[in-house]
């Protein structure tokens, strides 16, 4: 077989002669005349490179000269700006594959409008490299280069750019009879074309400097692989957090019996959604000013542990008939996903979160850019629906912006309606469960739960369509989501009468077993710590055998608190903003500190309600100055308690409860309680 020919001017390798790997051309998109020219050229080049015919025969058959045939082959083998070779693209009629240069800038005709300027601008930049660098920095706004001659400004206009270009040319010694000054518009069009080329070559930099931070962020984070379609449930899920556009009022009961009302600075709702079915797998509401890694773990846990309907305390508030959560389905209880996608927020990429996902749930983590919802479009769509059907319908909504007409004095509305965090928890649970049961346009008007069940249920087959990974039963009783490990050396001194103990996070930990084991002094124990409750720590001996639980000595061992709370208290103590003795309960002192500070600072109110919430869940509610829950059921319970303590009649207690909490409105049903607040809560859950 004849060897392929190579031209003397082209430095080629075998892969460049292999036309099967060349970029192709779609001939049908060309006009008929140009299409015929292209196909003729392509056939000639193929015959030449394959060596099937003599050059003379190829030239005769295709009606081209031998010299032009050699030129066409060389054009195909030239390097394209994209890093590849031109290939068949060079054969398209009227295609320029190489920019020509003028031999001498001084040869350009004075004030020439058309002829003699081909390649002059490129030659100018090659002759004065510092000019090209100057244009690049000015147009792209590259501020990291400290050049005293640069007058960087945000999004410089082209008119100013052209003026600075002329000044730079004069500073470089270019005379008036030379290019660009000997042209009519002083290279106006050429400079504009070059600036556009700079934007194309430095896409991300130009997008940020000339079109804003958001454009730059999107440009910098182009996905490296295609986002493929997913139809298997639990194959990929998306996690995201959204700040609720809503002000919530918190009511605190003071030791003297009075109440104090404070507004929270912000609320967050965290959700995990299944990409294939649009089901919300789990949610969590965070009262922190900025949601934490512990909040992320709670949301993950809620998505796995089987869900149960809440015993709703708001009269008239009910779940829809088809409402529910995937974990309530038998096949999805304790279900695990294969991939999870979230952004690079600090709470998401914390070591404990990544460790639980990768090493405990065996889930792949796909990290996306921060504040780029386009990479989690399903979550973004859901949050828009949530705000429009829930958050923005509440009277204390802050709206999507300060100019939103739905923003009608939210502070006043929050104070008037006093929607507490317990009521918000109930509302959000009902809203999410109802959302999973509502028809979805992208699911062909099936609900997310209905779609999930269809993809799990066998269809005319004994085998299920898809299967979900399930958390092993042996690990369900000990969900170590909030567990971290550490090591500490046992300290103690028999001469000083100090029994063995360990120090961890400014607290002493010991137990009766450790205290009676002086042989462990100097030994290093492995610790297993529940970051949600650091009053106790599980310790293991150097051999790996379990020693048992160690308990915090003094004030740190009284009230439940998280690791984050302790670290915050220690920081405040070191900054001399908080003071306590060894036997004082730091949590109570911290709570009093927040209560006082929350009078002027909403962020402190967020921290306080988070502290109260944790105390309620742990049963330490009585140790904390707590929130006055205004739901009717709890109000009645409080009234019953008051009956016993004050020995008042049942009717008096009921009447007093109603006067304290709700102004009863007669709507024709004497057995129902209906207030503006309750009507509002019912309205806020309708999609």
For 304-363, what is each residue's pLDDT tens digit?
999 999 888 888 888 999 999 999 998 899 999 999 988 877 787 788 888 888 888 888
- pLDDT value of position 280: 92
Per-residue pLDDT band at 485 (split at 50, 70, 90): confident
Give the integer Cα–Cα distance in Å for 358 and 374. 25
C-alpha distances in Å from residue 394, one per residue of 84, 245, 425, 674? 58, 10, 14, 17
Longest dimension (CA), the chain: 119
Q: Which of 52, 49, 66 is nearest to 12 (CA)?
A: 49
Residue in the structure block whose two tokens are 């060596």: 51
- pLDDT value of position 269: 86
Give the integer Cα–Cα distance in Å for 343 and 376. 9
Say yes or no to pLDDT of 225 above 60.
no
Q: Is the pTM of this model over 0.95?
A: no
- pLDDT value of position 669: 39
- pLDDT value of position 369: 58
**Span 673-679, average pLDDT:** 55
Q: Which of 211, 202, 209, 121 is nearest to 169 (CA)?
A: 121
Each residue of 603-648: pLDDT tens digit? 676 677 777 666 666 555 445 544 333 333 343 344 344 444 444 4
Tokens of residue 138, six digits: 């000015």
Of these ranges, 448-452, 657-661, 674-678, the one predicted with the greatest mean pLDDT is 448-452
Residue in the structure block whose two tokens are 């031999």: 103
Give the integer Cα–Cα distance in Å for 344 and 363. 17
Give the integer Cα–Cα distance in Å for 559 and 586. 9
- pLDDT value of position 11: 40
**Residue 27 carries which DSSP code?**
G
Q: Using only the alpha carbons of the chain, give its radius of gyration.
A: 36
Contacts of 316 (CB under 8 A, 6+ apart): 672, 674, 678, 682
Give the integer Cα–Cα distance in Å for 598 and 248. 14
E strands within 506-594? 507-510, 524-530, 536-540, 546-552
Give φ, ψ of 332 to 5 degrees.
Answer: -110, -5
**Cβ neighbours of 276 (radius 10 Å):** 21
Say what percent of the chain tops pLDDT 70. 66
Give the integer Cα–Cα distance in Å for 56 and 71. 15
C-alpha distances in Å from residue 45, one per residue of 11, 14, 16, 81, 431? 17, 16, 13, 22, 66
Residue in the structure block whose two tokens are 């915050």: 568
Q: How far is CA 578 from the centre of its chain?
A: 35
Each residue of 496-526: pLDDT tens digit? 889 999 999 999 999 999 999 999 999 999 9
Q: Give the Cα-Cα-Cα angle 4, 6, 8 (nearest 5 degrees).
A: 160
3-state secondary structure of 443: helix
C-alpha distances in Å from residue 636, one per residue of 18, 660, 664? 85, 11, 14
**Span 133-150, average pLDDT:** 72
- List, in order of start, the domains of the chain with CATH numbers: 14-91 (no CATH), 105-220 (no CATH), 239-474 (3.30.420.10), 482-557 (no CATH), 563-623 (no CATH), 632-683 (no CATH)
Whether 275 and 264 have beta carbons less than 8 Å apart is answered as: no
Say yes or no to pLDDT of 489 above 90.
yes
- pLDDT value of position 441: 80
- pLDDT value of position 628: 38
Name the more confident of 499 and 141.
Answer: 499
Helical H segments across 356-479, by residue range: 377-389, 410-417, 421-436, 448-456
Say yes or no to pLDDT of 395 above 60.
no
Please confirm whether the linkage preceding 36 is cis (ω < 30° from 0).
Answer: no
Give the integer Cα–Cα distance in Å for 234 and 464. 15
For the CA atoms of 36, 41, 42, 48, the dihedral, rounded to the nearest 10 degrees, stands at 150
Q: Which of 391, 420, 432 is nearest to 616 (CA)?
A: 420
- pLDDT value of position 116: 52
Helical H segments across 548-623, by residue range: 563-574, 586-597, 602-618
- pLDDT value of position 44: 92
Whether 508 and 274 have beta carbons less than 8 Å apart is answered as: no
For the CA atoms of 380, 385, 387, 389, the dihedral, rounded to the nearest 10 degrees, stands at -170
Per-residue pLDDT band at 274 (split at 50, 70, 90): very high
- pLDDT value of position 643: 42
**Cβ neighbours of 50 (radius 10 Å):** 15
- pLDDT value of position 625: 45
3-state secondary structure of 613: helix
**Given strand 507-510, what is the order of strands in its sheet?**
483-489, 524-530, 536-540, 546-552, 507-510, 498-504, 491-493
Give the integer Cα–Cα distance in Å for 85 and 327. 54
- pLDDT value of position 640: 41
141: left (phi over 0), alpha (psi -120 to 50) or beta: left
- pLDDT value of position 603: 66
C-alpha distances in Å from residue 31, one per residue of 34, 39, 86, 93, 340? 5, 12, 21, 10, 49
Each residue of 438-479: pLDDT tens digit? 888 878 889 999 999 888 876 655 566 788 899 888 777 656
For the chain, the average pLDDT equals: 76
**Span 176-187, average pLDDT:** 88
Contacts of 574 (CB under 8 A, 6+ apart): none
Say yes or no to pLDDT of 548 above 70.
yes
Whether 285 and 626 have beta carbons less than 8 Å apart is answered as: no
Say what percent of the chain tops pLDDT 90. 21
């Amino acid at each position: 077989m004849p060897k392929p020919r190579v031209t003397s001017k082209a430095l080629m390798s075998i892969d460049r002669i292999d036309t099967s790997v060349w970029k192709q051309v779609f001939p049908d998109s060309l006009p008929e005349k140009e299409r015929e020219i292209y196909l003729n050229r392509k056939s000639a080049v193929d015959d030449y490179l394959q060596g099937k015919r003599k050059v003379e025969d190829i030239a005769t058959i295709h009606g081209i000269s031998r010299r032009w045939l050699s030129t066409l082959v060389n054009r195909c083998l030239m390097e394209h700006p994209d890093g590849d070779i031109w290939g068949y693209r060079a054969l398209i009629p009227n295609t320029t594959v190489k920019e020509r240069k003028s031999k001498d800038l001084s040869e350009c005709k004075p004030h020439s409008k058309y002829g003699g300027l081909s390649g002059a601008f490129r030659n100018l930049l090659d002759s004065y490299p510092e000019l090209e660098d100057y244009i690049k920095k000015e147009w792209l706004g590259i501020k990291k280069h400290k050049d005293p001659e640069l007058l960087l400004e945000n999004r410089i206009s082209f008119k100013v750019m052209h003026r600075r270009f002329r000044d730079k040319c004069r500073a470089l010694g270019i005379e008036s009879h030379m290019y660009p000054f000997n042209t009519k518009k002083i290279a106006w069009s050429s400079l504009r074309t070059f600036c556009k080329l700079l934007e194309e070559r430095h896409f991300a930099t130009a997008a940020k400097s000339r079109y804003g931070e958001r454009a730059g962020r999107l440009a910098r984070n182009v996905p490296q692989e295609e986002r493929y379609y997913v139809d298997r449930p639990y194959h990929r899920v998306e996690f995201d957090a959204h700040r609720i556009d809503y002000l919530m009022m918190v009511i605190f009961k003071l030791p003297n019996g009075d109440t104090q009302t404070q507004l929270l600075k912000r609320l967050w709702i965290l959700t995990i959604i299944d990409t294939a079915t649009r089901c919300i797998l789990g949610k969590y509401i965070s009262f922190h000013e900025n949601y934490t890694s512990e909040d992320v773990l709670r949301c993950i846990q809620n998505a796995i542990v089987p869900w149960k309907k809440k015993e709703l305390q708001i009269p008239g508030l009910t779940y829809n008939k088809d409402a529910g959560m995937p974990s309530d389905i038998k096949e999805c209880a304790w279900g695990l996903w294969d991939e999870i996608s979230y952004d690079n927020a600090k709470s998401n990429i914390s070591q404990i979160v990544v460790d639980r996902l990768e090493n405990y749930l065996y889930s792949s983590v796909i990290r996306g850019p921060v504040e780029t919802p386009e990479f989690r479009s399903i979550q973004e769509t859901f949050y828009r629906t949530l705000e429009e059907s829930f958050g923005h319908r509440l009277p204390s909504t802050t709206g999507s912006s300060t100019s939103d007409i739905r923003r009608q004095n939210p502070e006043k509305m929050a104070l008037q309606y006093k929607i507490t965090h317990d009521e918000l928890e109930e509302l959000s649970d009902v809203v999410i469960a109802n959302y999973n049961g509502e028809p979805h346009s992208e699911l062909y008007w099936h609900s997310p739960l209905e779609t999930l069940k269809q993809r799990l249920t066998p269809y005319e087959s004994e085998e299920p369509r898809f299967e979900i990974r399930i958390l092993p039963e042996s690990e369900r009783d000990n969900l170590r989501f909030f567990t971290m490990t550490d090591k500490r050396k046992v300290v103690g001194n028999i001469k000083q009468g100090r029994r063995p103990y360990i120090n961890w996070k400014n607290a002493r930990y010991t137990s009766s077993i450790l205290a009676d084991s002086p042989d462990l002094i100097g030994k290093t124990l492995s610790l297993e710590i529940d970051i949600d409750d650091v009053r106790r720590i599980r310790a293991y001996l150097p051999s790996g055998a379990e020693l048992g639980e160690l308990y915090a000595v003094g004030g740190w061992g009284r009230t439940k608190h998280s690791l984050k709370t302790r670290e915050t208290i220690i920081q405040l103590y070191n900054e001399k903003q908080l003071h306590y003795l060894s036997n004082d309960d730091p949590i109570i002192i911290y709570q009093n500190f927040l209560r006082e500070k929350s009078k002027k600072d909403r962020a402190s109110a967020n921290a306080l309600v988070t502290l109260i919430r944790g105390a309620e869940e742990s049963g330490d509610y009585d140790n904390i100055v707590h929130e006055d829950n205004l739901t009717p059921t709890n109000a009645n319970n409080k009234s019953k308690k008051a009956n016993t303590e004050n020995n008042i009649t049942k009717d008096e207690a009921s009447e007093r409860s109603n006067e304290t909490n709700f102004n009863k409105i007669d709507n024709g049903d004497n057995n129902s309680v209906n207030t503006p607040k309750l009507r509002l809560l019912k309205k806020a859950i309708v999609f």
